[in-house]
A and B are shown apart, each in its own frame.
Chain A
Amino acid sequence: MSLWEYANPVKFLGLSERLLPWLWGLAAVCLGVGLTWGFFFTPDDFRQGASVKIIYLHVPSALMAINAWFMMLAASLIWIVRRHHVSALAARAAAPVGIVMTLIALFTGAVWGQPIWGTWWVWDPRLTSFLILFLFYLGYVALWEAIEDPDTAADLTSILCLVGTVFAVLSRYAVLFWNQGLHQGASLSLDKEENVADVFYIPLLVCIAGFVALFLALVLYRTGTEIRVRRTRALMARQMRAEVRDA
C-alpha cells in the first residue's frame, strides 16, 4: 500500500470518514481534560501568578499556527511536483484553520503580555515574524478566492506558501536567531532545565495533543468539503456542455 493511493479523492474520502470520528473524539477529550486540568487544578506560577494559565492556549495554538503552515508547504510541494489535486485542496482547507490558530496565539499573547511585560505588543522578532505569518495566511486565502481557475490558483498559492515559509521558520526560531526582545525562549525543550515545571508540563502536553487532533480533524473534514465542491463544479460543467450540445 502506498501513501499516493490517497491522492485518489474517493480513497481519501473513505479514509477520512473512518478517521474523523476518532479525531473529533480525541480532540474533544484532550481539550476538555487539558483545559479543565490547566484552568482549575494547576497552581499559580511564583512569578507570573494565575496568568500562567494562558499557557494552555497560547503555546498549543502558536505551535499549530506554525505547523499548519509547514503542512501547507508539504501539500503545496506535492501539488507542484506531482499535481495531485487532493494535496492542493488540503493546503487550501488548512489555511483558515491556521488563521484561527494564529489569531488565538496573537490574542492570548497580547492579553498575557499586558500584565507581565506592561504592554500589549512590542516589535520583538518573534512577535513581528508571527504577525507577518498571519498576514501571509490572509494573503494565501485571498489569493485562492481571487483566482477563478483552480489549477492556476493552486500554482500561485503554492508559490506564496513557499515564500511565506521564511516567516514560519522565523516565527519558530526567532528567539534563537536574535538574542533580544521580550519574548521568552521555548516553553517546551528537550533540555529539562529550560522546560516548564512538570506541574504545568503534563496538562500542557494534553492540550497540545488536543490542538493537534482538532487541527487534523478540521483539515480532513474541510478537505473533504473542498473535494465535493470540485466534484459539484465538474458535474455542473458537464451538464452545461451537454445542454449546449443538445441545443
Chain B
Amino acid sequence: MPDLGKYAEAVLWAYGVSLLLIAAIVVLSLWRGRRVRAEMEETEQHSDG
C-alpha cells in the first residue's frame, strides 16, 4: 500500500466509490441481459408451440 499521506481519505473514497459504481453497472447489465434472454427464449417456445 503506497503512503498516501494526508490525501489517503480522498484517494481511497474516490477509488472505492468508482469501482463500486463500475461493478454495479456491469453486474446489473449482465443480470438484466440474462433475464431478458431467458424470457425471450420462453416466449419463442410458446409462439413456436
Listed in ascending order, the chain A residues whose CB lies under 8 Å from chain B are 31, 35, 39-40, 44, 49-51, 53-54, 57-58, 61, 96-97, 100, 103-104, 107-108, 111-112, 114-115, 214, 218, 221-222, 224-225, 228-229, 231-232, 235-236, 238-239
What 0/1 readout, one digit per residue, does chain B (22-49) give for beta carbons within 8 Å of chain A? Answer: 1011100110110011011001101100
A-B interface pairs (CB < 8 A), number: 95
Which of chain B's residues have a CB closer than 8 A to the CB of A96?
A: 25
Q: Of all chain B residues, which has the CB nearest A97?
A: B25
Bound CA–CA A64/B22 (angstroms): 13
Q: Of all chain A residues, which has the CB nearest B30?
A: A221
Instruction: Check if B18 sits within 8 Å of A40, measured CB to CB.
Output: no
Q: How distant is B31 from chain A, measured CB to nearest CB, in Å?
A: 10
Give the interface size bracket for B toward A: 20 to 34
Most buried by A among B18, B25, B30, B40: B18
Q: Of all chain B residues, which has the CB nearest A61?
A: B18
Bound CA–CA A239/B40 (angstroms): 13
Please judge, given known A-B contacts A50-B4, A107-B17, whether A218 and B29 are in contact too, CB under 8 Å: yes
Instruction: Check if A100 sits within 8 Å of B25, measured CB to CB.
Output: yes
Q: How distant is B11 from chain A, measured CB to nearest CB, in Å?
A: 5
